[in-house]
Amino acid sequence: MPKPTKISKEVPMDKNSLAHTKWNCKYHIVFTPKYRRQAIYGKIKKDIGAILRKLCEFKGVEIIEASACVDHIHMLVSIPPK
């Protein structure tokens, strides 16, 4: 049985690394309605959540944590470098 060479040896890659770099890009984003009106509740809150999830999925952004209050939305997201 031949010995594995360095070239054929598989290197485990995690999702936060590229060929020669590691990254950890996290952003805290806050959305607010105009004049910070208390408008985010009920069906609107669910619709906004669904829209933000679809946008993040489309752009390859991972939502780490999110919270919606009546006058603002907090999101902690991980965005890969481009």
pLDDT digits (tens, 9 = 90+) for 5-57: 554 445 555 677 777 888 899 999 999 999 999 999 999 999 999 999 999 99
For residue 29, with 0-12 CB atoms within 10 Å meaning exposed, 13-18 middle and 19 or more buried, which class applies? Answer: middle
Distance CA 52, CA 21 (A): 29
- Tell me which CATH code domain 26-78 carries: 3.30.70.1290
Spatial neighbors of 58 by CB under 8 A, at least 6 apart, are: none
Q: Domains of the chain: which residue ranges?
A: 26-78
Which pairs with CB-CB distance under 8 Å and at least 24 residues apart come from 13-22? 16/80, 18/81
pLDDT digits (tens, 9 = 90+) for 66-78: 999 999 999 999 9
